Amino acid sequence: MPDADVVVIGGGFAGVTAAREIALAGRRPLLVEARDRLGGRTWTADWNGQQIEYGGGWVHWHQPHTWSEITRAGLAVELSDVEREASWWVGDRRATGTAAGRDAIAERGWNAFVADADAVLPNPYDPLAGGAAMRRLDAMTVAERIATLDLDDTERAVLMAECESVAHGPLEEAGAMAIIRWHVLSGSSLALTQYAGGRVTLRDGTGPLLGAIAAAATVETRLATPVAAVAAEVGGVAVTTASGEVITARAAIVAVPLNTLGAIAFTPALSPVKRDAIGRGQASRGVKIFIRVRGRGETQNAIRAGHPFGYLATEWTYDDGTQTLIGFGPDAAAIDATDLGAVQAALDRILPGYTAVDAIAHDWLADPYARGTWAIHRPGWYTHFHAEMRRPEGRVILAGSDLANGWAGFIDGAIESGLTAARHALDRL
Ligand SMILES: Cc1cc2nc3c(=O)[nH]c(=O)nc-3n(C[C@H](O)[C@H](O)[C@H](O)COP(=O)(O)OP(=O)(O)OC[C@H]3O[C@@H](n4cnc5c(N)ncnc54)[C@H](O)[C@@H]3O)c2cc1C
Per-residue pLDDT reduced to its tens digit, 82-136: 999 999 999 999 999 999 999 999 999 999 999 999 999 999 999 999 999 999 9
Q: What string of DSSP letters covers 140-166?
A: SBHHHHHHTS---HHHHHHHHHHHHHH
Q: For domain 99-198, is the CATH number 3.40.50.300?
A: no
Q: Which of 191, 253, 196, 172 shows the shortest CA–CA distance to 406?
A: 196
Q: What string of DSSP letters covers 176-244?
A: THHHHHHHHHHTSSHHHHHHHHHTEEETT-HHHHHHHHHHTS--EEE-S--EEEEEEETTEEEEEETTS
Provide the strand spans (E) within 34-76. 44-47, 50-53
Query: Do 44 and 205 form a contact (C-beta atoms < 8 A)?
Result: yes
Identify the bridge partners of residue 254 per DSSP, sorted by sequence position. Answer: 9, 398
Q: What string of DSSP letters covers 376-423?
A: -PPTTIIIIIHHHHHS-BTTEEE-SGGG-SSSTTSHHHHHHHHHHHHH
Identify the bridge partners of residue 141 per DSSP, sorted by sequence position. Answer: 175
Closest C-alpha to ligand 1, atom 17: 56
Mutate to test the pocket of ligand 1, among 37, 42, 209, 311 (most ligand atoms within 8 A of CB): 42
- For 374, the 3-state DSSP assignment is coil
Ligand 1 centroid – CA 102 distance (Å): 32
Residues near 26 by beta carbon (within 8 Å), at least 6 away in sequence: none
How is residue 358 annotated by DSSP? E
Compute the distance between CA of residue 232 and CA of residue 83 in angstroms, rounded to an integer.
53
Any residues with Cβ below 6 Å from ligand 1, and which?
9-15, 32-35, 40-42, 55-58, 226-227, 255-257, 260, 263-264, 288, 364, 369-370, 373-374, 400-401, 409-412, 414
What's this model's pTM, rounded to 2 decimal places? 0.98
The backbone torsions φ and ψ at residue 25, rounded to the nearest 5 degrees and listed phi first, read -85, 5
Compute the distance between CA of residue 324 and CA of residue 356 in angstroms, rounded to an integer.
9
Mutate to test the pocket of ligand 1, among 31, 69, 245, 411 (most ligand atoms within 8 A of CB): 411
Amino acid 310: pLDDT: 98
Cα 423 to Cα 6, 196, 213, distances in angstroms: 11, 28, 17
First to last CA, the chain: 14
Ligand 1 centroid – CA 190 distance (Å): 25
Low-confidence ranges of the chain (pLDDT < 70): none
Ligand 1 centroid – CA 23 distance (Å): 22
Compute the distance between CA of residue 121 and CA of residue 183 in angstroms, rounded to an integer.
10
Mutate to test the pocket of ligand 1, among 8, 37, 41 (most ligand atoms within 8 A of CB): 41
Q: For residue range 302-325, what is the model confidence (pLDDT) as tens digits?
A: 999 999 999 999 999 999 999 999
Using the atom order of ligand 1, give the atom closest to the CA of residue 260.
Answer: 38
Ligand 1 centroid – CA 177 distance (Å): 21
Ligand 1 centroid – CA 262 distance (Å): 16
Q: What top-level class would CATH report for the domain 4-41+205-282+375-428? A: alpha beta
Closest C-alpha to ligand 1, atom 13: 56
Compute the distance between CA of residue 230 and CA of residue 246 in angstroms, rounded to an integer.
10
Torsion of CA 225, 228, 230, 233, to 10 degrees: -100
- Domain regions of the chain by residue span: 4-41+205-282+375-428, 99-198
Closest C-alpha to ligand 1, atom 20: 411
Using the atom order of ligand 1, give the atom closest to the CA of residue 328.
Answer: 1
- For 245, the 3-state DSSP assignment is coil
Amino acid 9: pLDDT: 99
Ligand 1 centroid – CA 210 distance (Å): 12
Q: Which of 302, 404, 62, 402 shows the shortest CA–CA distance to 199?
A: 62
Compute the distance between CA of residue 110 and CA of residue 104 in angstroms, rounded to an integer.
10
Ligand 1 centroid – CA 42 distance (Å): 6
Compute the distance between CA of residue 303 and CA of residue 158 in angstroms, rounded to an integer.
7
Ligand 1 centroid – CA 257 distance (Å): 7
Compute the distance between CA of residue 167 and CA of residue 141 in angstroms, rounded to an integer.
10
How is residue 271 annotated by DSSP? P
CA 418 to chain centre: 15
Angle CA 426–222–255, to nearest 5: 50
Q: Which of 174, 176, 201, 168 shows the shortest CA–CA distance to 370?
A: 168
Using the atom order of ligand 1, give the atom closest to the CA of residue 372.
Answer: 53
Q: For residue range 26-59, what is the model confidence (pLDDT) as tens digits?
A: 999 999 999 999 999 999 999 999 999 999 999 9
Query: Do 208 and 75 form a contact (C-beta atoms < 8 A)?
Result: yes
